[in-house]
Structure formats: C-alpha cells, structure tokens
Amino acid sequence: LALGAGSALSACSDTTVPGGQDPHLAPGGLPLARPDNPVRLPIYPDNPRIPSGLEPESGPLQLYNWAEYVNEAVLKSFEERYDVEVQLSTFSTLDEAVAKLAAGAVGYDVFVPTQPEISLLVAGKVIQPLNLDYIPNLKRNVWKALQSPWYDVGSRYTVPYTVFSTGIAWRNDFLPDYDPSKFANPYDSFWQMDEISGKVAMLDDQREGLAFGLLRNGITDVNTGSQGQVDGSRKAIQELIDKVNLRFYTNDYQHIADGSIWLHQAWGGDMTAIGYYLPKGTPVTSVSYWWPQDGRGLMGNDTMTVLKGAPHPVLAHLFLDHILDVETAFLNMEFTGYQQPLVEMTPKAVVEAELVPENLLSAIVRQDQFAAGFLQGPLSAEGLGIWETAWSEVKAT
C-alpha cells in the first residue's frame, strides 16, 4: 500500500488513537499484526455486525474487485443460486480503490483487499465486521491457519480469498542453463545476468519489489521498518537497474509468454495460468518457476470483506460463503489461475483437474508450507514513509 492510500484511509478514520505514529503501531493506532504477534481487531460501537437470521436482499450484489480476478462463471452460479444479479466493478491498483472508497464512494457490497491493508481499513471504518453465521464454509473448507489468521484473529473482518507465492519465473528455452537453486542465494541470480540485459524484470509493486531486494541482501523480515535495511534494498535494485536494464511490470504472464522478458520476479498464480498466454506452438514446458519448497519465501494472501454501509450486507456475506465453496473455488481457478486456501485444493487435485501443468506445480502453495512463508503485514506510519520513499527513488532511477 502506497503512502497516499494510507493517508487517505487515515484521513477518513474518525478513530483518533494517541500514539498513532508509534513505530510499533499501524496507522490508526492498531497493533502491527505479525505471525508472532497475532492481532484481534476491535469492533467499534458505531460499526457493528449484522444480526443473524436475516433474509437476503433482492440485490443486485455489487462486487468491487481487481481486474481479471474472478471467473464470470462464479458470478453466474451465485446469481442462479440466490436469484439475484451480480454487478462487477474493477480497479487496477489498491491505491486507486482505497482512494475511491475513502472519498466516500457508495453502493459497493464486497471489496477484495490484500491483507496488509486490513488494519487500515478497520481503523478507517471502511469495512464492517462479519457475522460468521452466514459463512459456514470458512470452518468447513478453509485451511486451519486461515480460519483465524494472525492478521485478523477470529476472522472478525475478513475471509481468505487467494493464497499465492512470489518467486522467479524464466523461459528455460532461452535460458537452458539457468536455475536459481544453483546459486548460494537464488535471489542474487538476477544480479548475475548481465548477458541478458533488457530481458530481466521485477514486479512493479512496492512491497514485492523491495522485499526481493531484502531477500537478496539476506534479510527475511519483509515487514522491516529499518531505514538502513530498506535503503539497502533500494540500492541493490538501483544497481540491478544499471546492470541488466531492469524492467518493471505487473503483467508478468504476458511478458514471459511473449518472450520479451526471459527472467521475471513473478506471482505463482500468474504462472499457473501461463498456458493461456503462450503463443501457439510454444509449449508450457518452456516456462519454469522457482519458489523455495521449504516454504521460506515470499507469500501473499488476498482477502474478501464487506464494506461498511453495504446496501446488501446479507447477500455480501452469502457471496463470501459462496467463494469458499470447494466446487466454486475450482471453477474460479479455471479463469484466475490463483488457488484458494481450501483443504481440498491440494497439488494433486489441481493437477488432476488440469488447472496447473505438472512442470509448474512449484507455484502451488501447500498447507504445510504456509506457516514458514514470509508474509507481508501492515507497516507503521513511519515504515510506510520509508518504503514509499525508497520505491519512489527506485522508479526514478
């Protein structure tokens, strides 16, 4: 989350907490959630849960989601199940979405934020607490670790949507001798690729990009608020820009598929769907993906929430439950390429369902890997500023 979005949320929050700029607190005065510091988010008197036992509204349900991040067939199945219409609005960046919501955009029911932003959304009273009576699939189907996650103990405001790894993708037909696992530090391999200048790319994402630099420098705290560590990452990436004419993209799947980039920091979910984008005659086996199989690598977890003031809150809760249905999740992955953290969505199951080619199975996150992953959490106001400044300097290089 860029500082601009954080500032927008802070401005829309009517919860003033002394010490909100404390380095140990997230903006809004809430504790910084970490795997070793789980946080139970507060429920405010003027933002209560909806009661149990209500009938669903007549709709239409308004979903505010990332572009290309839900299968239309999933929306159709919900429409048929509840005899309502679903209207989808999309955004390209979280900054864009949060700024719009913080400015008072109304009419949306369900919003899909990444988990580092949850405490900001709660403090700003942008999302409402959930009544889990309407969402039985959370306990029925979801990984135990995400039924009550460290960033939202008790699932007071969120249910998990997707889980994904961030690793290294490459075209092995162009780089037959490349294998990041051969390097003492696989992340450092990017700095050794002078010979393919112009063919190396990093995700155009502040948290993902700087985290890659941290890991290259041997720092595994991807939520660090240390000025020195973040500056070290920034300097490493600026060096990489000079070494390999580094490019920055979010559509990693497109550039790996068309061969304009041979080596790319990549989201695992984008790689599982790479077959849809490869030119005719280019086999999916020409793409490889590395992510540490002990789980000690970058990992992400997007969520679904119900917005405060949602016109159709009961329908919104039922939609969250629908998303956590096993059949729905497999249907969704057919389009998005992103897995959901459901017990039945195992590597074997997704291969048998032909959702992931076997050579890219390393992009799937196993339940037993999740506890070891380096997951992003909220940053303090000071930390947000440090990261934002560093990334601005990277992009200005």
**Tens digits of residue pLDDT in 35-88:** 999 999 999 999 999 999 999 999 899 999 998 899 999 999 999 999 999 999
Provide the token pair at 322.
Answer: 């629908």
The Cα 129–Cα 380 span in angstroms is: 23
Q: What is the structure's pLDDT at 390?
A: 97
- 11 vs 370: which has the higher pLDDT: 370
Q: What is the structure's pLDDT at 156?
A: 98
Q: What is the structure's pLDDT at 23?
A: 65
Q: Is 354 exposed, middle or buried (0-12, 13-18, 19+ CB in 10 A)?
A: exposed
Residue 288 to residues 254, 317, 323, 338, Cα–Cα distance (Å): 15, 38, 29, 17
Average pLDDT (23-35) is 84
Statement: residue 380 has pLDDT above 60:
yes
* pLDDT range class, residue 19, cuts 50, 70, 90: very low
The share of the chain scoring above pLDDT 90, in percent, equals 83
Task: Point out the least confidently predicted range of 55-69, 118-132, 145-159, 361-375.
Answer: 361-375
* pLDDT range class, residue 293, cuts 50, 70, 90: confident
The share of the chain scoring above pLDDT 70, in percent, equals 94
Phi/psi at 299 (5° precision): -140, 145
Statement: residue 387 has pLDDT above 90:
yes
Provide the token pair at 291.
Answer: 């992510």
Cis amide bond preceding 60, omega within 30: yes
pTM above 0.95, yes or no: no
Q: What is the structure's pLDDT at 371?
A: 83
The Cα 113–Cα 121 span in angstroms is: 9
Statement: residue 364 has pLDDT above 80:
yes
Q: What is the structure's pLDDT at 22?
A: 66
Cα distance between the two ends of the chain? 21
Average pLDDT (318-346) is 96
Task: Point out the least confidently predicted range of 9-13, 174-178, 314-318.
Answer: 9-13
Average pLDDT (181-185) is 96
The Cα 174–Cα 148 span in angstroms is: 44
Average model confidence (pLDDT) for the chain? 92
The Cα 300–Cα 378 span in angstroms is: 13
Q: What is the structure's pLDDT at 1?
A: 31
The Cα 161–Cα 66 span in angstroms is: 12
* pLDDT range class, residue 28, cuts 50, 70, 90: confident
Statement: residue 385 has pLDDT above 80:
yes
Statement: residue 21 has pLDDT above 60:
no
Average pLDDT (218-225) is 96
Closest CA to 308 of 109, 63, 52: 109
Q: What is the structure's pLDDT at 93?
A: 82
